[in-house]
Amino acid sequence: MNTEFSEDDLAFQKKVVDFIKANLPKGMEMWTKRNEWFQALKAQGGWDVPKWPVEFGGPGFTPTQRYIFDMEMARHATPPQIPFGVGMLAPILMNHGSKEQINRFMPGIRDGSVNWCQGYSEPGAGSDLANLKTKAELSEDGTYYLVNGQKIWTTLAHIAHWMFCLTRTSSSGAKQEGITFLLIPMDDPGIETRPIITLGGSHSVNEVYLTDVKVPVTNRIGEEGKGWTYAKGLLVHERTGLAGIQHSVLALEKAKANARTVKTGDGSLMDLPSFKNKVGALEAELLALEFTELRTLSQVSAGEGPGPESSILKLKGTEIQQRISELNIEAAGIYAAPWSGQPIGPDFARGATSSYLGGRATTIYGGASEVQKDVIAKNVLGLG
């Protein structure tokens, strides 16, 4: 066991930081120069797809390098990648896709020219995802599936070109069996997307209705009825990513800086013990969670995981994100009340409320906290 970075790791860290400082878009360019940023990452030798294996163009990071890379990217608030293509579908394609599918879909995923969305949840299949009912019937000639059903909470479906979708091809046997993984073009006339406006007032999730959508059999990933197995492997990885630990480290620093600007008695809000203790408690838990993430990564490098322990990261990581957003609400005080976007009160207060409201979803999506606890209880602790 060795908790120090090696000389090589430190050199790598410097390389990453130097790169970020030289290339990171500033201010509004974060949005307008996204492509340039990802191109520059790519030119470094696969830094745009840090988790991909070398044979698919990934950088071949060691687990420690990946940790350093992720940490520095988060620490410098670099433009986030939309996860559905690069992070979620690509690993499934690489492991279970045919050569034709890989050649067809991987380039668009890599260069960001094709937007993907994830068609998993349904009105009756939330925490109980395997209960999904969207039906895919194989045509008599065996060339296509006829898909009918409804998906919900589909993030960015309204700008997606394609959806990777879990469908039901058989109702016999256990619920987890008979699920088939299909790739469906969103411009099919049988697809209707309706927006859902959420608590933070924003539109990012949707309902997607599928009516007699014809999906060629060549758009099926792997075998019929094995979709659950393919998706499940990825859900573990999704949980790890959702913990957002480095973002929380950064967010907590910002929350402290915000609180220092709020006059309270003779000092600032940060001088108030009750507030300072909340900050301190979060800081201590984040230190511990950071190292828990490192332990999970070292299991991966030892070829073991990530196992159900990744639920620890999702469970605690999202809880901490929410508590940090509460600190900002508290620091905003009365200025938590004005609806966001209006130049009322201190600058930081403007986004504080919508972040707090929108952030309530983090303990619901990607497997609710109650489900994560069940996963740990059942699969780690052997409790039923």
Residue from 119, 126, 178, 317 binding other proteins (CB under 8 A): 126
Residue from 77, 250, 364, 376 binding other proteins (CB under 8 A): 364
| 136 vs 123: CA distance, rounded Å | 17
Residue 198 binds to other proteins (criterion: CB under 8 A): yes
Q: Which stretch binds other proteins (CB under 8 A): 88-96, 178-186, 239-247, 365-373?
A: 365-373
Residue from 49, 132, 152, 242 binding other proteins (CB under 8 A): 152
Residue 338 binds to other proteins (criterion: CB under 8 A): yes
* Residue of 224, 238, 309, 330 with catalytic role: 238
- β-strand partners of 79: none
Residue from 94, 138, 329, 376 binding other proteins (CB under 8 A): 329
Min dist. Cβ of residue 109 to other proteins (A): 26
Min dist. Cβ of residue 262 to other proteins (A): 8
Q: What phi and psi, each to the nearest 5 degrees, are found at residue 190?
A: -80, 0
- Residue 352's alpha-carbon distances to 17, 33, 258, 332, in angstroms, are 28, 25, 11, 7
Q: Coil, strand, or helix at residue 367?
A: coil
Extract the tokens encoding 139: 């045509």
Q: Which stretch binds other proteins (CB under 8 A): 45-53, 94-102, 232-240, 358-366?
A: 358-366
Residue from 128, 223, 271, 304 binding other proteins (CB under 8 A): 128
> What DSSP string describes 95-152?
HH--HHHHHHHHHHHHHT-S-EEEE--BTTBSSSGGG---EEEE-TTSSEEEEEEEEE
| CA angle (12 as vertex; 32, 71 as ends), nearest 5 | 55
| 105 vs 88: CA distance, rounded Å | 13
Q: Are 255 and 330 in contact (CB under 8 A)?
A: no
Q: Map the footprint of other proteins across residues 154-193, applying CB under 8 A.
A: none
| 51 vs 49: CA distance, rounded Å | 6
Q: Which stretch binds other proteins (CB under 8 A): 45-53, 107-115, 293-301, 326-334?
A: 326-334
Nearest to 168 by CA among 192, 154, 151, 191: 151
Residue 122: count other Cβ atoms within 10 Å of its Cβ.
Answer: 23
Residue 378 binds to other proteins (criterion: CB under 8 A): no
| 88 vs 109: CA distance, rounded Å | 10
Residue 351 binds to other proteins (criterion: CB under 8 A): no
Residue 223 binds to other proteins (criterion: CB under 8 A): no
Q: Which residues contact 230 (CB under 8 A, 6 or more apart)?
A: 92, 95, 96, 181, 221, 222
Residue 353 binds to other proteins (criterion: CB under 8 A): yes
The 10 Å CB-count burial string (b at 16+, else e) for 93-115 is: beebbeeebeeebbeebbebeeb
At which residue do the structure tokens 């988060």 appear?
A: 74
Residue 345 binds to other proteins (criterion: CB under 8 A): yes
Min dist. Cβ of residue 190 to other proteins (A): 24
Residue 107 or residue 341: which is nearer to other proteins going by CB? 341
Residue 20 or residue 152: which is nearer to other proteins going by CB? 152
Residue from 11, 43, 159, 196 binding other proteins (CB under 8 A): 196
Q: Are 13 and 75 in contact (CB under 8 A)?
A: no
Q: Are 48 and 38 in contact (CB under 8 A)?
A: yes
For helices 310-332 and 227-242, give the axis angle rounded to 10 degrees: 40
Residue 336 binds to other proteins (criterion: CB under 8 A): yes
Residue 146: count other Cβ atoms within 10 Å of its Cβ.
Answer: 16
Residue from 21, 26, 99, 263 binding other proteins (CB under 8 A): 263
Residue from 370, 378, 379, 380 binding other proteins (CB under 8 A): 370
Min dist. Cβ of residue 174 to other proteins (A): 12
Whether 4 is catalytic is no
Q: Map the footprint of other proteins across residues 199-218, applying CB under 8 A.
A: 199, 201, 205
Binding mask 102-121 for other proteins (x = CB under 8 A): -------------------x
Q: Which residue numbers are catalytic?
A: 238
Q: Which residues bind other proteins (CB under 8 A)?
A: 121, 124, 126-128, 131, 152-153, 196-199, 201, 205, 263-265, 272, 274-275, 326, 329-330, 332-340, 342, 344-345, 353, 356-357, 360-361, 363-365, 368-370, 373
